[in-house]
Amino acid sequence: MRCVGVAVAVAFLGLAPSVAQAEIVITISKAQQRVAVAVDGAERFRWPVSTGRRGFDTPVGKFRPVRLEKNWYSRKYDWAPMPNSIFFYRGYAMHGTTEERNLGRRASHGCVRLSREHAATLFAMVRERGRANARIVVVNGPLPKQDYPAETPMAAVEQPADAAAALARATDDDVIQVTVTPDALPLAKPAVLTMAPPRDDAPAAMPLARPVARQARPARAEKFTSVGSEAAVLRGREAWLRSLDRKYGIVR
């Protein structure tokens, strides 16, 4: 019996490291709005998330999943859908979201939002391995630096330092945005106006209209000079007025 007990203890101790490595460790960085998923001691995924915005902070600490809900709706927030929910503390959960455009920044009511695809992947992993073998860690600081395999070329890891390096490494499948400054634009050639020759069936050109003659102003009447008696002056003035009426068609 003693030998059997010792053998069982040795077997348990020998299996202990493998059991510890089988854990799924989910580390959420509130500073970077990213989650890192490590399986069997090696990081497998790194995805953008949305944690709680101001006034709806996500709790910090180490947690275990308390329950899994494939289809869940928030009764507190207008029955908002929470697909593939992994609850880890009270009503806080990691779940998929329909507001994927906000991933990468704080936008939730305290839960940890993922894209629907990533939430489904994580949910399946935790359900397959068991809630007891999963751990959720929420930190304020950044995620640990990601380790790349030794055979990974540095060109695939590092970002180009300048635009010239980016253009040199770009392929035909890459989308390159080129900004053209006014100094780089060619000078435009002056436009040349050409007249087409007249066609035989074209209508004849209309003659230019004659300029309208300006109507001459009426000649200024000569100043009447009174000569002789007052009666003669009045008669002469009346005759002069009648001549003006006849000239200009004035009816008095």
Alpha helical stretches, state H, 143-250: 163-169, 230-248
Q: Which two tokens stand for residue 195?
A: 């007249």
Residue 73: count of CB within 10 angstroms of its CB: 13
Counted domains in the chain: 1
* Contact in structure between 62 and 49 (CB atoms under 8 Å): no
Residue 131's Cβ-count burial label (10 Å; 0-12, 13-18, 19+) is middle
Rounded Cα gap, residues 32 and 35, in angstroms: 9
Residue 247: count of CB within 10 angstroms of its CB: 11
Q: Assess if residue 199 is contained within a domain.
A: no
Rounded Cα gap, residues 134 and 5, in angstroms: 30
Q: Is the pLDDT of residue 110 over 90?
A: yes
pLDDT for residue 70: 96
Rounded Cα gap, residues 100 and 115, in angstroms: 6
Segments forming the whole domain that contains residue 126: 22-139
b (16+ CB within 10 A) / e for 9-30: eeeeeeeeeeeeeebbbbbbbb
Please give the residue that has the higher pLDDT: either 221 or 176: 221
For residue 224, the one-letter residue type is F
Rounded Cα gap, residues 221 and 21, in angstroms: 124
Q: Assess if residue 114 is contained within a domain.
A: yes
Q: Is the pLDDT of residue 224 over 70?
A: no
Q: Assess if residue 193 is contained within a domain.
A: no
Q: Assess if residue 190 is contained within a domain.
A: no
pLDDT for residue 207: 53
pLDDT for residue 59: 96
Q: Is the pLDDT of residue 170 over 60?
A: no
Is beta strand 134-139 parallel, antiparallel or unpaired with respect to 61-63? antiparallel
Domain of 84: which CATH number? 2.40.440.10
Instruction: Look at residues 210, 203, 31 and name the one whose alpha carbon lies nearest to residue 105.
Output: 31
Q: Assess if residue 53 is contained within a domain.
A: yes
Average pLDDT over residues 50-66: 96
Average pLDDT over residues 100-128: 97
Q: Assess if residue 110 is contained within a domain.
A: yes
* Catalytic residue positions, numbered: 95, 111
Q: Assess if residue 225 is contained within a domain.
A: no
Q: Assess if residue 76 is contained within a domain.
A: yes
